[in-house]
Amino acid sequence: MKRQSTEKTPEELLKQCWTLIKHGIQSRRSNYHSMSVHYITSTNTPRSVIMIPRSFDEKEHTLRTHTDFRSPKVQHLKSNPNVSLLFWCREQKTQMILTGKATIAHNNHLTKATWDTMQNMSKVCYCADIAPGTQTMSSSNGFSTEQWQNRKDIVDTEFAYNNFAMVCVKIASVERLDLSASGHQKIIFRTTEHKDWTHEWISP
């Protein structure tokens, strides 16, 4: 990917951040197709996981990803919704750190509309009968033998859908770092109560 010019205005740089995220959602080849999600557990310890951004609402500044409702991180995020999302592009040498608050969407119009558009190969992830985080006697893919054999039929059941949830992050700030041999550049954007954005240049 071609290195982006550092002569862009703050408005253009923020707009490009949104474009990169949306491109990552659309293309599996993009460096922005995955992100590192950082949060604090209910025992006050840090935790990081890799998640796939699934949709982005530029007007509402909301990024959504999918998860299993039974996952321990759901309860952790309910306890402390503050999150940090890290994107990194190796070719472009651009890092983005988004901060915001997460809410969990489950069994509502948003999850139903999303579920109805998902392919069965994606729905299978939510057919497992062993909940994420459950301790097992040996290596496990989350399925009992019988459940795995019947997984293609289970995708169309309420059981699978009820395990599906979405993590919706309302973005409050975007910190962008562009690395360059001619000098690094860092800028941070913060949203206001009127959904506008302010910016501040920061020494890298």
pLDDT, tens only, 10-61: 999 999 999 999 999 999 999 999 999 999 999 999 999 999 999 999 999 9
Looking up residue 76, the CATH number of its domain turns out to be 2.30.110.10
pLDDT at 3 over 50: no
**Averaged pLDDT of the chain:** 94
Residue 131 lies in a domain: no
pTM summary value: 0.91
Which DSSP letter does residue 6 get? S
Residue 152 lies in a domain: no
Residue 127 lies in a domain: no
The per-residue pLDDT for 4 is 47
> Of all residues in the chain, what percent carry a pLDDT higher than 90?
89
What dihedral do alpha carbons 131, 54, 154, 162 form, nearest 10°? 60
Q: Which two tokens stand for residue 75?
A: 């309860």
Residue 156 lies in a domain: no
Residue 193 belongs to domain spanning: 10-117+163-202
The per-residue pLDDT for 1 is 43
Residue 150 lies in a domain: no
Residue 78 lies in a domain: yes
Residue 53 lies in a domain: yes
pLDDT, tens only, 67-112: 999 999 999 999 999 999 999 998 889 999 999 999 999 999 999 9
Residue 138 lies in a domain: no
- Count how many domains the chain has: 1
Q: What angle do CA 159, 166, 100 make, to 5 degrees?
A: 160
